Amino acid sequence: MGYKGEYAYWGREGTFNAGNPAVDQNIPFNPLVGLGPPKPKYSEETIYTFDSLDPTIIYSNELTPGEADIETVFKDPFLMLACFTHKVVGGTWVTGIGTIDADFSDVDDKDTLFVHYKQKDLVSTNHLHRTVRGVLPTAYKWVIEPGKLLKEVVSTKGLSFATVESAMSCNNNFHDQRWGSGVGGWANWDDTGLNGTGKRSARNMVIHWNDVAINGLKIKTATLALAIPHESEQLIDDLGHTLEWEGKREYSLELAGKLHDLGELEEVEKTYADKTKNPLKVYYDATVGKEKYIQITNMYVADYEVISIPEAGQLAEVTFKMKGGEDCVPSFSGKYDTLPDPSALITT
């Protein structure tokens, strides 16, 4: 009958490009919408000698990194936090307000990840177990659409893989026990939102530029994107890519909706020197004392596109793109009320 997905989870590697789910910290995914595991594959070179029109020599010359997006319904911040290179966990957990802050001010807490998944053989017991190792986040997005739940999209690059059989092992405080107590399930640590279901709706999202709402647009959709590329190369002593480094980062917010006034639109018409640069905050929880948001300083309106010149009786639709300007600083900040201490799941 074939194979079906049975479970998938991720974790932090104890040693770069050598993730072992039986040893390293296991972490549940937020509920998965789509998982294209970033599994690398071998590339081949074919040599034709001068005396033959048929292949003479074929050999594998590179384990080419795999690339894939991981799409989830956002609940808990742990995969997002793995995209930042410096993290601080503080405050008072269990009985008070615990805090998490993250940014790129240092590389002391840089993560490399593994992704483990099982596909179940529906006829026999020849199940497929794979661990993708050396997984590097290359982009992070929040996708906000009217009436829908907040979607998280993490673009990844994987450098190696292994066949390992290992069910998820994680403290019950951090998953919904979908696969059984002590075995695992989807992320379920912070269940605030929509009456305690942990579901984060577009209705809960708040977007502020300089601590006030954006007035020029009645927002229909929004996409916050952190481009955090990682480059990698193969060296002479291995088929795989064993050298990696960070690339140039870029941060943006794209907003689409109905044009309301000309404030933001007129920003596009200014030179960069004259543009307004302000901190942008995108909250998934704006509750006073429990705020959780991504902030990017020095954001400016970089471009816009008029989607349509409206017919009679219609409103003009516009897309604005904001970008991080000179010396911009992206960060995450969260306050969590009476939750279990998540320190074991966060590199600090």
164-182 pLDDT per residue, tens: 989 899 899 999 988 877 7
Q: What is the mean pLDDT of residues 227-239?
A: 96
Q: What is the largest CA-CA distance in the chain?
A: 78
Tokens of 262: 């000309």
Q: Decide which of 276 and 7 is more confident.
A: 276
Query: Is 177 among the domain residues?
Result: yes
Tokens of 263: 């404030």
Instruction: Please provide the average confidence, as pLDDT, over all residues in the chain.
Output: 93
Q: What is the mean pLDDT of residues 230-248?
A: 95
Residues 6+ apart with CB under 8 A from 242: 17, 159, 234, 235
Total of domains in the chain: 1
Q: Decide which of 115 and 127 is more confident.
A: 115
Q: What is the mean pLDDT of residues 19-44?
A: 94
Query: Is 49 among the domain residues?
Result: no
pLDDT tens-place string over residues 47-88: 999 999 999 999 999 999 999 999 999 999 999 999 999 999
Per-residue pLDDT at 282 exceeds 80: yes
Query: Is 213 among the domain residues?
Result: yes
pLDDT score recorded for residue 214: 85
Query: Is 52 among the domain residues?
Result: no
Report the candidate in 40, 47, 116, 33 with the shortest Cα–Cα distance to residue 75: 33
Q: Which domain holds residue 156?
A: 3-42+60-345
Query: Is 47 among the domain residues?
Result: no
Query: Is 48 among the domain residues?
Result: no
Query: Is 53 among the domain residues?
Result: no
How many whole angstroms from its chain centre is CA 277? 26
Per-residue pLDDT at 1 exceeds 80: no
Which residues sit opposite 284 in a β-bridge? Answer: none
**C-beta neighbour count of 135 within 10 angstroms:** 33
